[in-house]
Copies of this chain bind each other. A is one copy, B any other.
Amino acid sequence: MNDSLGALELWVDRLGRRTRLGSPEVESLLALAHRRESIAKGRDLVRQGEAVEAACLVASGTIGRFKQNRDGLRQLAAIYIKGDMSDLHSVVMPISATELTALQDSVVLRIDHHGLRELACRSPLVAEAFWRDTTVDANIATERVFALGRLSALSRIAHLLSELSVRHEAIGDDPCAFPLHMSQVHIAEATGLTSVHVNRMFRELRERGLVEVTRLGAVIHDRAQLAKIGQFSPDYLHLPQVGIERRAEGTHLHR
Protein backbone atom coordinates (compact mmCIF):
# COMPACT_ATOMS: atom_id res chain seq x y z
CA MET A 1 0.00 0.00 0.00
CA ASN A 2 1.18 3.44 -0.79
CA ASP A 3 4.55 2.13 -1.75
CA SER A 4 4.55 4.30 -4.82
CA LEU A 5 5.58 7.17 -2.63
CA GLY A 6 8.67 6.23 -0.67
CA ALA A 7 9.08 6.89 3.00
CA LEU A 8 11.99 9.20 2.34
CA GLU A 9 9.89 11.30 0.00
CA LEU A 10 7.12 11.45 2.56
CA TRP A 11 9.50 12.59 5.24
CA VAL A 12 11.26 15.19 3.15
CA ASP A 13 7.92 16.41 1.91
CA ARG A 14 6.79 17.01 5.46
CA LEU A 15 10.03 18.71 6.37
CA GLY A 16 9.53 20.97 3.41
CA ARG A 17 6.02 21.86 4.47
CA ARG A 18 7.14 22.92 7.89
CA THR A 19 10.33 24.64 6.79
CA ARG A 20 10.80 26.49 3.53
CA LEU A 21 13.69 24.55 2.04
CA GLY A 22 15.41 25.37 -1.21
CA SER A 23 15.51 22.75 -3.92
CA PRO A 24 19.24 22.04 -3.45
CA GLU A 25 18.46 21.15 0.15
CA VAL A 26 15.55 18.98 -0.85
CA GLU A 27 17.69 17.26 -3.43
CA SER A 28 20.42 16.43 -0.98
CA LEU A 29 17.91 15.21 1.58
CA LEU A 30 16.36 12.91 -0.96
CA ALA A 31 19.81 11.69 -1.89
CA LEU A 32 20.69 10.64 1.65
CA ALA A 33 22.30 7.25 1.77
CA HIS A 34 20.35 4.64 3.67
CA ARG A 35 20.17 0.96 4.36
CA ARG A 36 16.86 -0.80 4.04
CA GLU A 37 16.23 -3.20 6.88
CA SER A 38 13.37 -5.55 7.69
CA ILE A 39 12.44 -5.91 11.31
CA ALA A 40 10.29 -8.74 12.54
CA LYS A 41 7.47 -8.04 14.97
CA GLY A 42 8.76 -7.74 18.49
CA ARG A 43 12.34 -7.16 17.50
CA ASP A 44 14.33 -4.21 18.80
CA LEU A 45 15.85 -1.65 16.50
CA VAL A 46 17.57 0.19 19.29
CA ARG A 47 18.10 -0.84 22.91
CA GLN A 48 17.94 1.42 25.88
CA GLY A 49 21.38 2.83 26.63
CA GLU A 50 22.75 1.82 23.27
CA ALA A 51 24.86 4.25 21.27
CA VAL A 52 23.52 4.57 17.75
CA GLU A 53 25.11 5.97 14.63
CA ALA A 54 22.10 6.09 12.39
CA ALA A 55 18.56 7.32 12.60
CA CYS A 56 15.60 5.18 11.59
CA LEU A 57 12.99 6.20 9.09
CA VAL A 58 9.93 3.99 9.05
CA ALA A 59 9.10 2.65 5.61
CA SER A 60 6.32 0.30 6.60
CA GLY A 61 4.82 -1.26 9.68
CA THR A 62 4.86 0.41 13.06
CA ILE A 63 7.70 1.21 15.39
CA GLY A 64 7.19 1.90 19.08
CA ARG A 65 9.38 3.82 21.43
CA PHE A 66 9.41 2.18 24.85
CA LYS A 67 10.68 3.35 28.16
CA GLN A 68 11.37 0.39 30.35
CA ASN A 69 12.80 -0.18 33.81
CA ARG A 70 14.43 -3.14 35.50
CA ASP A 71 11.15 -4.47 36.87
CA GLY A 72 9.93 -4.88 33.33
CA LEU A 73 7.51 -2.01 33.63
CA ARG A 74 7.10 -0.83 30.12
CA GLN A 75 5.49 2.24 28.70
CA LEU A 76 4.96 2.97 25.05
CA ALA A 77 6.00 6.59 24.71
CA ALA A 78 5.64 7.12 21.00
CA ILE A 79 4.31 5.39 17.92
CA TYR A 80 5.87 5.84 14.51
CA ILE A 81 4.33 5.03 11.18
CA LYS A 82 5.47 5.26 7.61
CA GLY A 83 7.29 8.50 6.87
CA ASP A 84 8.19 9.15 10.51
CA MET A 85 11.75 9.42 11.72
CA SER A 86 11.66 7.52 14.94
CA ASP A 87 14.85 8.96 16.35
CA LEU A 88 16.10 11.94 14.47
CA HIS A 89 17.06 13.34 17.85
CA SER A 90 19.67 10.61 18.12
CA VAL A 91 21.79 12.83 15.89
CA VAL A 92 22.39 15.08 18.87
CA MET A 93 21.79 12.46 21.55
CA PRO A 94 23.25 9.19 20.32
CA ILE A 95 22.80 7.28 23.55
CA SER A 96 19.20 6.25 23.55
CA ALA A 97 17.19 6.74 26.72
CA THR A 98 14.47 4.57 25.26
CA GLU A 99 14.09 1.50 23.16
CA LEU A 100 12.71 1.18 19.66
CA THR A 101 10.74 -1.96 18.90
CA ALA A 102 8.77 -3.14 15.92
CA LEU A 103 5.12 -3.51 16.90
CA GLN A 104 4.56 -5.38 13.65
CA ASP A 105 6.76 -6.65 10.90
CA SER A 106 8.27 -3.46 9.59
CA VAL A 107 10.80 -2.01 7.24
CA VAL A 108 13.03 0.87 8.24
CA LEU A 109 15.66 2.88 6.46
CA ARG A 110 18.76 3.49 8.52
CA ILE A 111 20.31 6.83 7.73
CA ASP A 112 23.75 7.50 9.13
CA HIS A 113 24.14 10.42 11.47
CA HIS A 114 27.15 11.39 9.48
CA GLY A 115 25.16 12.31 6.42
CA LEU A 116 22.48 14.07 8.42
CA ARG A 117 25.01 16.07 10.40
CA GLU A 118 26.79 17.09 7.29
CA LEU A 119 23.62 18.45 5.74
CA ALA A 120 22.69 20.23 8.93
CA CYS A 121 26.11 21.81 9.23
CA ARG A 122 26.15 22.90 5.64
CA SER A 123 22.67 24.42 5.69
CA PRO A 124 21.16 26.20 8.68
CA LEU A 125 17.79 25.73 7.04
CA VAL A 126 18.17 21.98 7.14
CA ALA A 127 19.38 22.18 10.72
CA GLU A 128 16.28 24.15 11.52
CA ALA A 129 14.06 21.66 9.74
CA PHE A 130 15.56 18.79 11.74
CA TRP A 131 15.23 20.64 15.00
CA ARG A 132 11.63 21.51 14.16
CA ASP A 133 10.84 17.91 13.31
CA THR A 134 12.02 16.67 16.68
CA THR A 135 10.13 19.48 18.34
CA VAL A 136 6.91 18.16 16.91
CA ASP A 137 7.85 14.82 18.38
CA ALA A 138 8.25 16.53 21.72
CA ASN A 139 4.85 18.14 21.26
CA ILE A 140 3.35 14.72 20.83
CA ALA A 141 5.01 13.55 24.03
CA THR A 142 3.61 16.55 25.87
CA GLU A 143 0.19 15.82 24.50
CA ARG A 144 0.50 12.28 25.76
CA VAL A 145 1.41 13.58 29.19
CA PHE A 146 -1.81 15.51 29.10
CA ALA A 147 -3.84 12.50 28.03
CA LEU A 148 -2.30 10.20 30.62
CA GLY A 149 -2.57 12.70 33.41
CA ARG A 150 -6.03 14.05 32.86
CA LEU A 151 -8.18 11.82 30.68
CA SER A 152 -10.29 8.78 31.52
CA ALA A 153 -9.53 5.43 29.96
CA LEU A 154 -12.13 5.92 27.24
CA SER A 155 -10.86 9.38 26.43
CA ARG A 156 -7.25 8.32 26.28
CA ILE A 157 -8.08 5.68 23.73
CA ALA A 158 -10.22 8.07 21.76
CA HIS A 159 -7.37 10.54 21.84
CA LEU A 160 -4.86 8.05 20.59
CA LEU A 161 -7.11 6.87 17.79
CA SER A 162 -7.83 10.44 16.80
CA GLU A 163 -4.15 11.24 16.62
CA LEU A 164 -3.42 8.17 14.55
CA SER A 165 -6.29 9.05 12.27
CA VAL A 166 -4.86 12.49 11.54
CA ARG A 167 -1.37 11.19 11.10
CA HIS A 168 -2.52 8.51 8.71
CA GLU A 169 -4.47 11.08 6.80
CA ALA A 170 -1.32 13.15 6.47
CA ILE A 171 0.44 10.34 4.67
CA GLY A 172 -2.37 9.65 2.29
CA ASP A 173 -4.30 6.93 4.08
CA ASP A 174 -8.01 7.07 4.59
CA PRO A 175 -8.41 8.84 7.94
CA CYS A 176 -11.46 6.80 8.78
CA ALA A 177 -10.14 3.39 7.82
CA PHE A 178 -6.48 2.84 8.41
CA PRO A 179 -4.42 -0.17 9.42
CA LEU A 180 -3.62 -0.45 13.09
CA HIS A 181 -0.44 -2.44 13.25
CA MET A 182 -0.71 -2.87 17.00
CA SER A 183 -2.40 -5.24 19.40
CA GLN A 184 -4.65 -4.25 22.25
CA VAL A 185 -1.71 -4.91 24.51
CA HIS A 186 0.20 -2.20 22.67
CA ILE A 187 -2.69 0.20 22.98
CA ALA A 188 -2.70 -0.56 26.68
CA GLU A 189 1.01 0.12 26.92
CA ALA A 190 0.50 3.41 25.16
CA THR A 191 -2.44 4.58 27.23
CA GLY A 192 -1.27 3.42 30.62
CA LEU A 193 -4.08 0.89 31.00
CA THR A 194 -4.35 -2.87 31.11
CA SER A 195 -5.22 -4.70 27.95
CA VAL A 196 -8.32 -6.03 29.63
CA HIS A 197 -9.59 -2.54 30.20
CA VAL A 198 -8.65 -1.45 26.70
CA ASN A 199 -10.77 -4.27 25.40
CA ARG A 200 -13.74 -3.07 27.42
CA MET A 201 -13.29 0.47 26.22
CA PHE A 202 -13.14 -0.73 22.63
CA ARG A 203 -16.44 -2.44 23.19
CA GLU A 204 -17.85 0.75 24.61
CA LEU A 205 -16.68 2.72 21.57
CA ARG A 206 -18.09 0.05 19.28
CA GLU A 207 -21.44 0.01 21.05
CA ARG A 208 -21.66 3.77 20.79
CA GLY A 209 -21.13 3.41 17.07
CA LEU A 210 -17.94 5.45 17.02
CA VAL A 211 -15.14 3.11 16.10
CA GLU A 212 -14.59 -0.49 15.20
CA VAL A 213 -11.18 -1.90 15.78
CA THR A 214 -10.41 -5.24 14.26
CA ARG A 215 -7.31 -7.09 13.36
CA LEU A 216 -7.39 -5.34 10.04
CA GLY A 217 -7.37 -1.85 11.42
CA ALA A 218 -9.50 0.91 12.80
CA VAL A 219 -12.71 2.02 11.17
CA ILE A 220 -13.93 5.31 12.49
CA HIS A 221 -17.61 6.03 12.04
CA ASP A 222 -17.85 9.32 13.87
CA ARG A 223 -14.60 11.17 13.79
CA ALA A 224 -15.89 14.37 15.33
CA GLN A 225 -17.43 12.62 18.28
CA LEU A 226 -14.30 10.56 18.80
CA ALA A 227 -12.17 13.68 18.84
CA LYS A 228 -14.56 15.25 21.30
CA ILE A 229 -14.40 12.34 23.69
CA GLY A 230 -10.64 12.29 23.37
CA GLN A 231 -10.37 16.05 23.91
CA PHE A 232 -8.40 15.96 20.75
CA SER A 233 -7.36 18.94 18.72
CA PRO A 234 -4.72 18.38 16.06
CA ASP A 235 -2.80 21.66 16.35
CA TYR A 236 0.12 20.16 18.21
CA LEU A 237 0.91 17.86 15.29
CA HIS A 238 1.69 20.78 13.02
CA LEU A 239 0.39 18.94 10.03
CA PRO A 240 -1.21 21.87 8.28
CA GLN A 241 -4.13 20.96 6.08
CA VAL A 242 -1.84 21.76 3.20
CA GLY A 243 -1.17 18.11 2.82
CA ILE A 244 -4.76 17.16 3.05
CA GLU A 245 -6.12 19.70 0.63
CA ARG A 246 -3.44 19.11 -1.90
CA ARG A 247 -4.46 15.53 -2.17
CA ALA A 248 -8.13 16.28 -2.44
CA GLU A 249 -7.59 18.08 -5.69
CA GLY A 250 -5.79 15.35 -7.54
CA THR A 251 -4.03 12.08 -7.42
CA HIS A 252 -5.39 10.14 -4.54
CA LEU A 253 -2.92 7.50 -3.72
CA HIS A 254 -5.22 4.52 -3.95
CA ARG A 255 -5.42 1.83 -1.33
**By the criterion CB–CB under 8 Å, are B149 and A92 in contact?**
no
B120 touches A124 (CB 8 A): yes
Which B residues lie within 8 Å of A73 (CB)? 146, 150-151, 231
Known: A89-B138, A231-B69. A236 touches B148 (CB 8 A): no
Q: Which residues of B contact A136 (CB under 8 A)?
A: 93
Taking a contact as CB atoms under 8 Å apart, the answer to whether B148 and A231 are in contact is no
**1/0 per position for A97-137, CB-CB distance to B under 8 A?**
11000000000000000000000110010011011101111
Given A92-B131, A128-B92, A131-B134, A145-B69 contact (CB < 8 Å):
no
Which segment of A74-82, A161-169, A207-215, A246-254 sits at the interface? Answer: A74-82
With A74-B150, A131-B127 known as contacts, the answer to whether A139 contacts B97 (CB < 8 A) is yes
Highest count of chain B CB atoms <10 Å: which of A144, A146, A151, A189: A146
Contact of A78 (CB < 8 Å), options: B67, B98, B142, B151: B142
- Tell me, in angstroms, the Cα distance from A135 to B97 when the chains sit together: 11
- 7 sampled A-B residue pairs with Cβ under 8 A: A49-B235, A73-B231, A97-B143, A98-B142, A135-B138, A148-B192, A149-B191
Q: Which residues of A contact B (CB under 8 A)?
A: 49, 65, 67, 69, 71, 73-78, 89, 92-93, 97-98, 120-121, 124, 127-128, 130-132, 134-139, 141-146, 148-151, 189-192, 231, 233, 235-236, 238
18 further contact pairs, Cβ within 8 A, besides A93-B139, A127-B128: A67-B142, A67-B146, A69-B146, A69-B231, A71-B231, A73-B146, A73-B150, A89-B135, A92-B128, A93-B238, A97-B142, A127-B127, A134-B134, A134-B138, A138-B141, A141-B141, A144-B145, A148-B149
